[in-house]
Amino acid sequence: MIRRARMSARRLAAGAAVLLLSATAAAIAQGSDIAVRGGTIHTLTGPPIRDGVVLVRDGKIAAVGPAASVPIPDGIEVLEAVVVTPGLIDAHSTLGLSGIYNSNVGQVRDQDQLETSAPIQPELRAIDAYDAREKLIEYARGFGVTTIHTGHGPGALISGQTMIAKTRGDSTEEAVVVPFKMLAFTLGNGLSREFKSPGTSAKGVAMLREALLEARQYLEKRETRTAATQDDGEGDGEGEGDEKGGGEAARNLRHEALAALLQGEVTALVTAHSAPEIEAALRLQEEFDFPMVIDGAAEAPLLLEEIAAAGVAVLPHPPMARLRQGSFETAAKLRDAGIPFALQSGFEGYVPKTRVLLFEAAIAAANGLGFDDALASITREPAQLLGIADRVGTLEVGKDGDLALFDGDPFEYTSHVCAVVIEGEVVSRECR
Amino acid sequence: MPRALCPIPRAWRVAGTVPLLVLLASSLAAQAPVRAFRGAQLHPIAGPPIEQGVLVVEGGRILAVGGSSTTIPRGAEVIDVGGKVILPGLVDTHSHLGSVSGGDRSAPLHPGVRALDSIDVRSDSFWRARAGGITTINVMPGSGLLMSGQTVYIKLRRDPRTIDDWLFCDDPIGGICGAMKMANGTNPLDPPPQSGSRAKSAALVRALYVKAQEYQHKVDEAAADSAKKAPPRDLELEALLQVLRGERIVQHHTHRHNDIATVLRLQQEFGFRVVIQHGSEAWKVADQLAAAKVPVSITFIDAPGGKEEVLGWRLDAPAILERAGVDVGFNTDDWITDSRLLLRAPALAVRYGMSREKALEGVTLAAARMLGLEERVGSLEPGKDADFVVLSGDPLSVYTQVEETWVEGERVFDRDDPEHRRFAVGGYRVYRDLATHHDVLESEAHQ
């Protein structure tokens, strides 16, 4: 294929950028070439570029700047748009686990975001449930979303793990960017009534503390053993006195997942809406000192100082979510308090089965957040919060060629997303 | 507010011809305040938009609508609304505000149950509607029953004391104060005594309407022949006779194309007036709906899914229906969508190909027609109720805010008032009665 030959030539030139590709991403798409010319290009690194060009080669941004300074090579496909933004990043959803049918009865079971056999199951991996071909993923992509942080949902004290994926690919392996990113916690009223225990919010916190304590002990034991193995020889006393004797500790998947949290390798995504729930989340985080983001946080505006002091980020509820305490202005208030945040589509238990990130950001934009911060909250900010800013979130040379193309103000009701590009590949060409 | 202070006494609000109303209104001119709203872009809906328009309101009625040369009566209070946009008060044909309830699980059909017996007029949720520019609402019981009861049409007048202050009808006890809520498809399916299948649903409904026809027959016979005894009063059948006579409209929850076809079949058999509510797949049977002259009130959902029967929803459904000649309206189905954002629906419909004119009509005059209230509300025309919304800009822009909502000449929402504003943006448990609405939602979700 001509195309492929051209790409391999480019790969040499792309050099370091190629190295940034994860092995799995590299396996699916060798990365494509495309040029996008936009009336306004929002790079999210500085002021918008008027009449600019984004050049993507081998799936990575090779150049971005005014049209006059970015020559478009011959033979490359050129898309045009009124407005160009980075591909949108959904800071939190359950897409790929919670399917369009919303059914867990009979033959149709597409609700894998919540397992109710036990309230604490951090060992449940998102990658083992993610359906890359779920219709709602394609739907979200049509509205500009190119990266999602998704996985186990709210409803259990710890419902399981989350992952980061690109909204393309036919399998988890093709889509995944980060296989284990966060552990999904839920405090208080958000817990499913399926569980016999906890029956109260205080009991829930107690159960979490127990689980975290056990994991800490497991971790300490593991570290001691590792140290002992390294020292070797000297069977000098102590001996841990347990049944396994020295050597390898028996693996425990639950403890391992929580140990990853305690070691700061993954983050706690704690769904907490009311002020007492948010307080409890902050208390847990202080006690066990793990990385945390607060999800939902309808009453965060009542605790802005505390949240800011704790240095945690917030993924506020979608503005249009049906929440008692929810406000169109939650995001604007977080911004005003200097708290890092990113918008999300979240989890929906009924109709509509998913929210449209762009539409939610539009409501936030019109209710105090403003255009620039609203756009940042679905591009640059989630990239930073999710630790993937080296790849996505802004339009800079070397980053993934993920783009959303619009025929007007992205947030206007009557504008359309007219093309979506992931790593140089046009994945949607229909104006929506 | 005390009845005596109502701008237009209820007896006048109700029946009567327009000339009579104008006559009455003008005889009141001495007391009724006259206000002229000058300089806004007016959307009368009954005609094209008017730049630099003048809207003259006398008491609770519209006196005049026109361009900048429109005569402003001497002594009128002139309000400068330059740069603003004025729409008729929005009409929501389907909402579940105010802790409304309907029939219970004891039976599948409850034609005698009245929503007006359940509504809490002090519910904070109605502030959400005012904040969205909504002035008229068809408040309905849920869709978990084949016939959950009589809905109620309300006008969000200021400071209500009882539901009576909000009704369109004259007589809350004997009058026709709303529609009849029906549902088919999967929501009403449940173990007995509920229906267990689509065909059974239709059979239960038919049996009840046949019974009503027989009741009517006996009533007619007794009227024609004094020797024959009138049947004993039956509250359920009386309500159904109103339906059969076309006096009480059926508001029919239905999603799938074949369920919509079933509604049309029943409508043909019994001759009632019906509005398709939701109609997720109405676009598939658009021509049949147009031929039957049956309108569709759409709940604009941002994404398909959530239950099997709404998978066929598509964003350009309103445009397809418009092209087929179907009268299209929009509703919030609050709490499914938010009353504050009713204008999103026509805006997104325009995004997906509907005309601006028809889209705006869908939350005003077309919606009023669907409730049989088009003589009173839905457009800015002399003689109609002075219900209108002052917007900061283009009605179809996300950046536009509802600044003021007026009902019958009185301002019922002012975004500049901090107490009102908090309802416009939400937060901090401003909607104290959410739990009740959540129950409605849950009961729908669990069908």
The model's pLDDT over B343-353, given as tens digits with 9 standing for 90+, comes to 999 999 999 99
pLDDT tens digits for range B268-279:
999 999 999 999
CB contact under 8 A, A327 and B401: no
Task: Give the pLDDT mean for B44-62.
Answer: 98
CB contact under 8 A, A326 and B306: no
Beta bridge partners of B58: B34, B61
Contacts of A95 in chain B (CB under 8 A): none
Between positions 70 and 99 of A, the ones with CB within 8 A of B are: 99
Contacts of B445 in chain A (CB under 8 A): 349-350
What gap in Å lies between CA B138 and CA B120, rounded to an integer? 14
Would you state the pLDDT for residue B436? 42
Would you state the pLDDT for residue B447? 29
For A338-357, the DSSP string reads: T--B----B--SSSSSS--H
Say yes or no: B418 contacts chain A, CB-CB below 8 A. no
Asked whether the predicted pLDDT for residue B257 surpasses 70, the reply is yes
Would you state the pLDDT for residue B31? 73
How far off is chain A from B340, nearest CA to CA, in Å?
Answer: 10
CB contact under 8 A, A324 and B441: no
- The residues, ordered by sequence, that sit 6+ positions from B140 with a Cβ below 8 Å of its Cβ are B94, B95, B96, B100, B102, B115, B148, B151, B179, B181, B251
Asked whether the predicted pLDDT for residue B9 surpasses 50, the reply is no
Contacts of A326 in chain B (CB under 8 A): 426-427
Confidence of residue B446 (pLDDT cuts 50, 70, 90): very low
Contacts of B348 in chain A (CB under 8 A): 413
B359's enclosing H/E stretch is: helix B356-361
- By C-alpha distance, the chain A residue nearest B344 is A413
Would you state the pLDDT for residue A229? 78
Would you state the pLDDT for residue A189? 86
CA atoms within 13 A on the CB side of A144: 33
Say yes or no: B397 contacts chain A, CB-CB below 8 A. yes
Length of chain A: 432
Would you state the pLDDT for residue A228? 83
Would you state the pLDDT for residue B404? 98
Beta bridge partners of B134: B90
Asked whether the predicted pLDDT for residue B109 surpasses 60, the reply is yes
Q: With beta carbons less than 8 A apart as the criterion, state whether A150 and A132 touch.
A: no
Would you state the pLDDT for residue B431? 60
Q: Which residues of chain A register pLDDT less than 70?
A: 1-31, 232-249
Would you state the pLDDT for residue A250? 85
Would you state the pLDDT for residue B248? 98
**Mean pLDDT score of chain B, rounded to an integer?**
91
CB contact under 8 A, A136 and B303: yes
How far off is chain A from B307, nearest CA to CA, in Å?
Answer: 5
Would you state the pLDDT for residue A71? 96
For A216-252, the DSSP string reads: HHHHHHHHHHHHHHHH-S---S--TT-TT-SSSPPP-
Say yes or no: A332 contacts chain B, CB-CB below 8 A. no
Count helices and strands (H / E) in chain B.
Answer: 13, 17
Would you state the pLDDT for residue A17? 35
Nearest to A414 among B396, B427, B445 (CB): B396
Asked whether the predicted pLDDT for residue B6 surpasses 50, the reply is no
Say yes or no: B21 contacts chain A, CB-CB below 8 A. no
Q: Which amino acid is at B43?
A: H
**What percent of chain A lies above the pLDDT cut of 70?**
89
Would you state the pLDDT for residue A40? 98
CB contact under 8 A, B302 and A108: no
CB contact under 8 A, A366 and B305: no
Task: Give the pLDDT mean for B111-131.
Answer: 96
Asked whether the predicted pLDDT for residue B254 surpasses 90, the reply is yes
Would you state the pLDDT for residue A18? 32
Which ipTM did the prediction report? 0.90
Contacts of B308 in chain A (CB under 8 A): 101, 103, 108
Would you state the pLDDT for residue B204? 98
- The residues, ordered by sequence, that sit 6+ positions from B313 with a Cβ below 8 Å of its Cβ are B255, B280, B281, B301, B304
CB contact under 8 A, A324 and B351: no
Say yes or no: B351 contacts chain A, CB-CB below 8 A. yes
Say yes or no: A57 contacts chain B, CB-CB below 8 A. no
Nearest to B429 among A108, A324, A352 (CB): A324
Asked whether the predicted pLDDT for residue B419 surpasses 60, the reply is yes
- By C-alpha distance, the chain B residue nearest A430 is B352
Cα angle, residue A383 at apex, residues A390 and A141 outer, rounded to 5° = 110
What gap in Å lies between CA B119 and CA B137, rounded to an integer? 12
CB contact under 8 A, B398 and A411: yes
Between positions 336 and 355 of A, the ones with CB within 8 A of B are: 348-355
Q: What are phi and psi of A400, to 5 degrees?
A: -60, 140
How far off is chain A from B177, nearest CA to CA, in Å?
Answer: 29
CB contact under 8 A, A327 and B427: yes
CB contact under 8 A, A413 and B397: yes
CB contact under 8 A, B341 and A363: yes
pLDDT tens digits for range B148-195:
999 999 999 999 999 999 999 999 999 999 999 999 999 999 999 999
Say yes or no: A131 contacts chain B, CB-CB below 8 A. no
- The residues, ordered by sequence, that sit 6+ positions from B393 with a Cβ below 8 Å of its Cβ are B85, B399, B400
Between positions 209 and 248 of A, the ones with CB within 8 A of B are: none
Of B196-205, B280-289, B297-306, B426-435, the poorest mean pLDDT is in: B426-435
